[in-house]
A = this chain, B = another copy of it.
Amino acid sequence: MKVLVTGFEPFGGATINPALEAVMRLPNEIAGAEVVTAQIPVVFGKDAAAVAAAIDAERPDVVLCVGQAGGRSHITPEFVGINYANARIPDNEGNQPIGRLEEDGPDAYFATLPVFAMVDAARAAGVPAAVSYTAGTFCCNEVLYELLHTLATRHLGVRGGFVHVPYATEQAVTMGEGTASMSVDMMVTGLTAMIEAAVTASDDAVAAGEGTEQ
């Protein structure tokens, strides 16, 4: 098996993106599956195109995109990607789109990774995790939606999903009390456990939504 894991470059004036930092530190093999990684730009359109190109090049069995959700305390697999963008800040090339992502696409796709089992796995590894039901309306959601659209239309049988990580601790150092964060080491531990769960889950288990809700 092969797993493609992508991480976004920094954006919004930040010097690092903890998602990318964590992805770059993942082991080359998890639960017997080869792990390949890719950095993708925070640019509407180009980010999804980069993911699609990596899929074409790597032919993975599982695709996991990782991004930052500043302010969250937990690592959060996303349940759903929606066919909509509403950018409150410019992306790294100044775009601020509002509207549907795919004119003729469905309103949303559910991730095809075992998000509940992934949360269980992260918790078992000691990492706070929870399923999220909104990936926002910026590039993270766009990449998730477009990934699932691509998989549904062009790569049947390949599973995909998205995980948001908190601010890295070093980012929170310059922010006020009340801003949650997580060490990149812990993100690596959590992502590794989640990837293991994604790789080892059966199709039936994914379809049944196996795992423990909080």
Contacts and interface: CB of A to CB of B under 8 A. Distances in A.
Interface of A: 72-74, 76, 79-80, 82-84, 86, 88, 98-99, 106-110, 123, 126-130, 132-134, 136-137, 169-170, 172-183, 186, 209, 213-214
A99 to B, nearest CB: 7
8 contacts: A73-B73, A73-B180, A73-B181, A107-B107, A107-B110, A127-B173, A130-B176, A183-B183
A201 to B, nearest CB: 17
Contact of A82 (B86, B133, B180): B133
- The binding surface of chain A is classed by DSSP as loop
Contacts of A170: 126
Contacts of A99: 209
A169 B181 contact: no
A205 B91 CA distance: 26
Contacts of A76: 177
A204 B168 CA distance: 36
Given A177-B73, A180-B180, A181-B73, A169 B108 contact: no
Contact of A177 (B72, B108, B213): B72
Contact of A128 (B127, B137, B179): B179
